[in-house]
Structure 1
Amino acid sequence: MASFVLSLHSSQSDYTSAMNLIHFANAACDAGHSIEAIFLYQDAVWHSSPHIVTPSDEYPIHQQWQKLADRGLNLLLCVTAAEKRGINLNSTAPFTVAGLAEFAMTTAKADKWIQFK
């Protein structure tokens, strides 16, 4: 089985990429593959903000992130991108703050890195 690192680069307002990443992650895990980490980078760090509320008629993205965390997936948030956007680093659950070095080391150990933009 393969091991993957997934990265998301688009903001919460463009949730199609996030939805595709979440579907891929669930399908890969269901098929027996491993997801070493999901890394939010660039505008994707907005997904960690507790201040963004998704309307009830839209895809429940925050609930989906929590379900991935409940599966034991490592959800990482780029500290630099978050700081640049004013994200409160003390309130990012279910995401863990990480740097690009941690992302690079995790990616180097995985079989595949897949970007969702």
Structure 2
Amino acid sequence: MARFVLSLHTPPSDHDTTQRIVKFANACLAQGHTIDAIFLYQQGIYHASTHFDLSSDELRISALWQQLADQELNLMLCVTAAQKRGLDIKNTGVFKVAGLAEFAMLASDADKWVQFK
């Protein structure tokens, strides 16, 4: 079975890409593959923000991330991208703050790195 690292580069408002990464992660796990990490980068760091409120008819993004966290996936966000965009890195929900070096090491050890943009 393959080991994957996934990265998400789009904001929460891009529902299509958010749904694609979640479906891809679930499909990988269902087929017995391993996901070493999902890394939020660039505008993707906003998925870790606790400061947006979605209306009831919008995609429940935080619930999707919680479901992946419940499967004990390593959910990470880039500390530099988060700080540059004013994200509170002490309050990131299910996401662990990490650096690009840590992400690069995970990606180099994985069989496949898949970007979602």
TM over 0.5: yes
Aligned to 2:108: 108
1:48-76: CA deviation from partner (whole Å, max 9, x where unpaired): 00111222111111100011011010000
In 2: Cα distance, 1:74 partner to 1:13 partner: 22
Aligned to 1:74: 74
In 2: Cα distance, 1:15 partner to 1:55 partner: 14
Compute the displacement of 1:80 (Å).
0.4
> Which blocks of at least 5 consecutive residues in structure 1 are unaligned?
none
Compute the displacement of 1:18 (Å).
1.2
Which stretch shifts more, 86-95 or 51-60?
51-60
Amino acid at match of 1:106: L
Identity rate of aligned residues, in percent?
A: 56
The runs of at least 4 consecutive aligned structure 1 residues that moved more than 3 Å come to none
Amino acid at match of 1:105: M
In 2: Cα distance, 1:87 partner to 1:20 partner: 24
Aligned residues: 117
TM-score computed with the length of structure 1 as normaliser: 0.97
